[in-house]
Structure 1
Amino acid sequence: MKFALSTLSNSVMMVALIASAASNVASANESNTELQNNVTQITDADYPSDIQKTHAQDSSLTTNQELNRAQQPIGLSTVIDPITHKSIDDSYSLEVPSLLSLEQAQNILLQVSPKIAANQAAIAASDYQTDALSTLDNPLVFARVSATAYHLDTDVDLSSLKSGVVNEIDSIVPAIPNLPDFDGLVDERIPDSYNIKRSGSTSGAGLGVLWPIYTAGRTTALIGASDARTQEAVADSLLDKNELYNTLIERYFKAQLAIIAAYLREDAYDTLQQTDHMAQRLFEEGFISRVDRLEAQSALADAKSESVNANNDARLAMMALQRLLRTEYRIKPTTPLFVSSRPLPDVNYFQDLALTNHPGLQKVAAKRAQAQQLHALSDTGYKPTVMLYGYSQVEKDPSWVTGISASWKLWGGLDKTASLASSNAQIRQADLSEIEVSDNLLLLVEKNWHDVNNAQSRYQALQSNVDLAAEVLRLRRLGLQEGVNTPIEVVQAQTQSLKARTEQAQAANSYVQSLAALMQSCGTPLAFNAYLNAADIQLPTLYNE
């Protein structure tokens, strides 16, 4: 399994957002106009058919296909993780640009995530276990070689043998007259003990075969259970990958929102600088009081502080994205926040997708398959095992033996009845879990579907607030020049405009996050990209590819 980590040594620091914002606009007035006109029209497409096509493509991708797509034909080596500084073997270096679109970030995430790499290893381990079990029914051929050296030195006690012979002779002699003295002959010929000394060596070699020709389905059940565990590992990998996709979208667009917020704060600070300058002139000419002048100075100081805080928040959000993609430098997102004015397909469409594609249901199915295979294995408890066997010595005129054997378990070991009851309970557990998971998925999809619609409605409703606040600010600034309005009124108008624009950007982020959650709950997270490409409203972005 390949696990890519970026090893770029050039650390590209993020350009300060305030300086970047200032260099991208000619003046505060021009930047105001740019942010107020914050919708970009794109070509209309057949929204439902495009999305359905993408869902179908997304659901047809298997885990292995996506993992193979993420890998690159680069020589494996040992790389150093830029975050933990730990060395990782069998990996390859990966160059990650600083400017990244969402789709680029998704592709890189597959290659640099330790969780995805760990899940790949778990799937591979389970696959290898299944491969190992698949040869259980194959003939087992073994060789036996022996070499033995021996030395024997012992005394054999013959007194009992000698006594027995004498007793037998004594019982026979009285019946036969004129026999010689056999007692003396026995004493002379048979000693009381005999010493044996022997030494030497022996050697031998042979070949044997064991072939289980009938196992009552035990091997098939074991292989099936192992394969089901592999499917469970695949489902776990899909769950983790979908969650990582969702985390990426969350951090990516939170960074975009933080950048917009920092830009808006800087724009407000620029505007208040102009207001402060005008207030100073009006105060010097006696058109406003000292209190009005001090209020303008206080508002400018607050704006400066808020701008610095927003800038720091943007850096933190970009750092969170950097950590996820495991780079040594800031990642600058180029895909803008977006909202689609088109209505979503009916909620039933997404619920059907969830029941078809969600890996949670795939995991439950894998659990049920394991229980079924364990049930089949338990059912073989009293069935025989039949084996062919043979053994032959490796000699010029060898001895050999061959035969067939069958064995039954008569008593002992696992209780078959209890094992069957246990597997039946596990199957029932899986069936009931499928019902519970399906119910929860349907409810989750409906919640996320409503969240997307609510965020869409809120964004559209806030547009009038943005337009109204911008017009009020314009009139207040003109009024300040004419001496009709006070600096504090301009500050209040500026605050209201900033609030409206920020709330609308937040609504766009809520739309994006809710849409990502909806796609994740359907089990098709990559379909998010089709909605992104079909969106007809895009917010401005500071960084461009």
Structure 2
Amino acid sequence: MKIVFYGVITAIALSCNVQAAAIDFSTAWYQVAQKNDALQAKKEEVKYSQALQDAAKSLYLPNVDITGSYTHFDKPISVDTPPVGNFIPSFNVPLTNQNFAHSSLNAVLPVYTGGRITAAQDIRQAQVDEAQSNYNLATRATFTQLVQYYFGVVLAEQVYQVRLDAVDALADHLNHAVKFEQQGQIAKVERLMAQVSLDKAQIEAQKSLRDYEIAKLALTKMLKQQDSVLPTTPLFVNNSVTSVTPYLTKTLTDHPGIAILNAKREQAKGMVDMASAKHLPEVMLYGNYNLYSDDSATGELLPEWMVGVGVRIPIIERSGTSQEVVAAKSSVRQVNLLQMQMQQDLSILVEKTYAEMSQALEEYNSLASSQALSEETVVLRQKAFSQGLSTSLEVADSQLYATSIRVQRLSASYNYVKSLAQLLSVSGDIDHFMDYLQINGIEVK
């Protein structure tokens, strides 16, 4: 029974890894950063904002256009001149033909706009900063997700192996129980207890296999691979983690959420400047060059070119400029309040994540003695059972307890890695994640 089940379930496990491509975490993160659709969409958002920023740079340039018109009058326009004494009689002077055509080249250059152009350019720059911060925020969230998926596969595989070890041990115990029953050394109920314990272990092993397959499928899809992937970076812990202060300081300084609110504040300030500028005059230079006019008197009288200075002074507007200024200033105050709240929330998040990481590390280290004790207990119970000094139930319970301790310790190391990744993501140190494994890190096998 032991050989049949172990062979079948091992064959299933091997078939899952036949076409699996080995990949370490650094390579996996590089692939996700390059291929993740959500991150690519955020990159396009940055490009979009940059294009609008470039467009705003042309606001100081002149507007140059060509205008033309063709007009048909009901009759030619003319003027009757009054007679001059008895010497010059009255006569008719034609001013236009019945059809009048004219075209010209026009240019308008803003000289002073009350700060509208500068405010518009500042807003576009702030929008670029916001888009870049959104991309950074999405990158950190994707990194955390990859850590959960990648090391979730590592955890599921190791838990599965632990469950298989339990099946193997309990199958050995069942074989011994069968022999002892045949020799009359134990009762039938003892052998049945061994059988029930093995059945339970087989069920748990099958569940672990399904969990492993699901976790590996999720990671494969995230990496956009056709064949399944096999992580090679192990779970780990590191006992030389610093205090929470550096993480907290860096989070409150560099977190993209704060940068987003800073960008929104700059946009709100730009809106204040634009609304205030509506009260100020505008000054512009303009010029006109006559390209074509017909041969009528009016056409001949038109100047070939002209230049000048124009001014526009707002007196009364129906757009509610004053209230727009009030609304824009309210937006600035709103962003300031949101930033204070975010700083408080981020501080809580960092403290909480650091505490969870520390708790996971303490749990992993504390369970070392329990694991050693449980493994030694299994050995003693097996020897006692072979000498008739222990029951089958005691052997099975010791084996299952040893298995649970191993699984619990593996889970603690996974929780440590997951909390570490979230802590580094919040504080902006995801590039140093692998340092915690490579520098004084302890691999969990």
Matched, 1:418 2:410: no
Q: Supply the distance in 1 between the matched residues of 2:391 and 2:248 (Cα, whole angstroms).
A: 56
1:313-347 deviation per Cα after TM superposition (whole angstroms, max 9, x unaligned)? 111111121222222332211111111122x2222
Instruction: Decide which structure has the larger Cα Rg and report it.
Output: 1
| Matched residue type, 2:139 | K
Change over 3 Å in CA distance of 1:372–1:151 after alignment to 2: closer
How far 1:536 sits from its partner (Å)? 3.0
Structure 1 regions of 5+ residues with no counterpart?
A: 1-15, 24-95, 155-197, 541-545
Q: Supply the distance in 2 between the matched residues of 1:316 and 1:97 (Cα, whole angstroms).
A: 14
The match for 2:39 is 116
Q: Supply the distance in 1 between the matched residues of 2:97 and 2:317 (Cα, whole angstroms).
A: 46
Q: Supply the distance in 2 between the matched residues of 1:523 and 1:244 (Cα, whole angstroms).
A: 13
Matched, 1:220 2:143: no
Greater helix fraction, Structure 1 or Structure 2: 2
> Comparing 123-132 with 520-529, which one deviates more in the overlay?
520-529
Indicate if the aligned counterparts of 2:20 and 2:230 stay in contact, CA closer than 8 A.
no
How far 1:153 sits from its partner (Å)? 8.9
How far 1:146 sits from its partner (Å)? 4.9
1:224-261 deviation per Cα after TM superposition (whole angstroms, max 9, x unaligned)? 11111121111111111111111111111111111111
Matched, 1:346 2:243: yes
The match for 2:10 is 18
The match for 1:442 is 347
| Matched residue type, 1:502 | V
1:23-55 deviation per Cα after TM superposition (whole angstroms, max 9, x unaligned)? 9xxxxxxxxxxxxxxxxxxxxxxxxxxxxxxxx
Indicate if the aligned counterparts of 1:152 and 1:199 stay in contact, CA closer than 8 A.
no
Task: Indicate the SS of the match to 1:278.
Answer: helix
Matched, 1:132 2:55: yes
Task: Indicate the SS of the match to 1:446.
Answer: helix
Structure 2 regions of 5+ residues with no counterpart?
A: 1-7, 77-95, 294-299
| Matched residue type, 1:126 | S
Matched, 1:297 2:202: no
Q: Supply the distance in 1 between the matched residues of 2:123 and 2:243 (Cα, whole angstroms).
A: 39
How far 1:376 sits from its partner (Å)? 1.2
How far 1:124 sits from its partner (Å)? 0.9
Q: Supply the distance in 1 between the matched residues of 2:9 and 2:258 (Cα, whole angstroms).
A: 45
Q: Supply the distance in 1 between the matched residues of 2:279 and 2:416 (Cα, whole angstroms).
A: 61
How far 1:461 sits from its partner (Å)? 0.6
Q: Supply the distance in 1 between the matched residues of 2:75 and 2:320 (Cα, whole angstroms).
A: 53
Indicate if the aligned counterparts of 2:167 and 2:201 stay in contact, CA closer than 8 A.
yes
Return the match for 1:531 from 428, 436, 439: 436
Alignment RMSD, CA only?
2.6
The match for 2:381 is 476
1:78-125 deviation per Cα after TM superposition (whole angstroms, max 9, x unaligned)? xxxxxxxxxxxxxxxxxx982221111111111111111111111111
- Matches of residues 3-402 of structure 1 in structure 2 within 5 Å? 18-19=10-11, 98-146=21-69, 203-342=101-240, 344-395=241-292, 399-402=304-307
Change over 3 Å in CA distance of 1:126–1:97 after alignment to 2: farther
> Comparing 518-527 with 397-406, which one deviates more in the overlay?
397-406
Indicate if the aligned counterparts of 2:190 and 2:392 stay in contact, CA closer than 8 A.
yes
| Matched residue type, 2:432 | A
How far 1:145 sits from its partner (Å)? 4.5
The match for 1:67 is none
How far 1:222 sits from its partner (Å)? 0.6
Task: Indicate the SS of the match to 1:134.
Answer: helix
Q: Supply the distance in 2 between the matched residues of 1:509 and 1:367 (Cα, whole angstroms).
A: 37
Task: Indicate the SS of the match to 2:277.
Answer: coil
How far 1:203 sits from its partner (Å)? 4.8
Return the match for 1:507 from 397, 400, 412: 412
Task: Indicate the SS of the match to 2:60.
Answer: coil
Task: Indicate the SS of the match to 1:502.
Answer: helix
- Runs (4 or more) in structure 1 with deviation over 4 Å come to 20-23, 145-148, 150-154, 198-204, 395-398
Q: Supply the distance in 2 between the matched residues of 1:493 and 1:304 (Cα, whole angstroms).
A: 16
Change over 3 Å in CA distance of 1:402–1:536 after alignment to 2: closer
Indicate if the aligned counterparts of 1:339 and 1:512 stay in contact, CA closer than 8 A.
yes
Task: Indicate the SS of the match to 1:394.
Answer: strand
Q: Supply the distance in 2 between the matched residues of 1:389 and 1:334 (Cα, whole angstroms).
A: 70
Task: Indicate the SS of the match to 2:283.
Answer: strand
Change over 3 Å in CA distance of 1:420–1:17 after alignment to 2: farther
Indicate if the aligned counterparts of 1:17 and 1:262 stay in contact, CA closer than 8 A.
no
Indicate if the aligned counterparts of 2:237 and 2:443 stay in contact, CA closer than 8 A.
yes
Q: Supply the distance in 2 between the matched residues of 1:431 and 1:356 (Cα, whole angstroms).
A: 15
Indicate if the aligned counterparts of 1:18 and 1:263 stay in contact, CA closer than 8 A.
no
Q: Supply the distance in 2 between the matched residues of 1:427 and 1:21 (Cα, whole angstroms).
A: 59
Task: Indicate the SS of the match to 2:40.
Answer: helix
Q: Supply the distance in 1 between the matched residues of 2:280 and 2:239 (Cα, whole angstroms).
A: 67
Change over 3 Å in CA distance of 1:288–1:17 after alignment to 2: closer
Q: Supply the distance in 1 between the matched residues of 2:217 and 2:394 (Cα, whole angstroms).
A: 38
How far 1:218 sits from its partner (Å)? 0.5
The match for 1:157 is none
Q: Supply the distance in 1 between the matched residues of 2:272 and 2:9 (Cα, whole angstroms).
A: 63
TM-score by length of 2: 0.85
Change over 3 Å in CA distance of 1:244–1:482 after alignment to 2: same
The match for 1:403 is 308
- Matches of residues 422-433 of structure 1 in structure 2 within 5 Å? 422-433=327-338
Change over 3 Å in CA distance of 1:199–1:394 after alignment to 2: closer
Q: Supply the distance in 2 between the matched residues of 1:146 and 1:430 (Cα, whole angstroms).
A: 51
Q: Determine what percentage of the aligned residue pairs are the same residue.
A: 28
Indicate if the aligned counterparts of 1:225 and 1:370 stay in contact, CA closer than 8 A.
yes
How far 1:500 sits from its partner (Å)? 0.9
The match for 2:394 is 489
Indicate if the aligned counterparts of 2:130 and 2:264 stay in contact, CA closer than 8 A.
yes
1:481-534 deviation per Cα after TM superposition (whole angstroms, max 9, x unaligned)? 333333322211110110111111111111111111211221333332222322
Indicate if the aligned counterparts of 1:217 and 1:377 stay in contact, CA closer than 8 A.
yes
The match for 2:87 is none
TM-score by length of 1: 0.70
How far 1:432 sits from its partner (Å)? 2.0
1:254-297 deviation per Cα after TM superposition (whole angstroms, max 9, x unaligned)? 11111111111111111111111111111111111111111112
1:123-167 deviation per Cα after TM superposition (whole angstroms, max 9, x unaligned)? 11111111112111201111234566x59699xxxxxxxxxxxxx
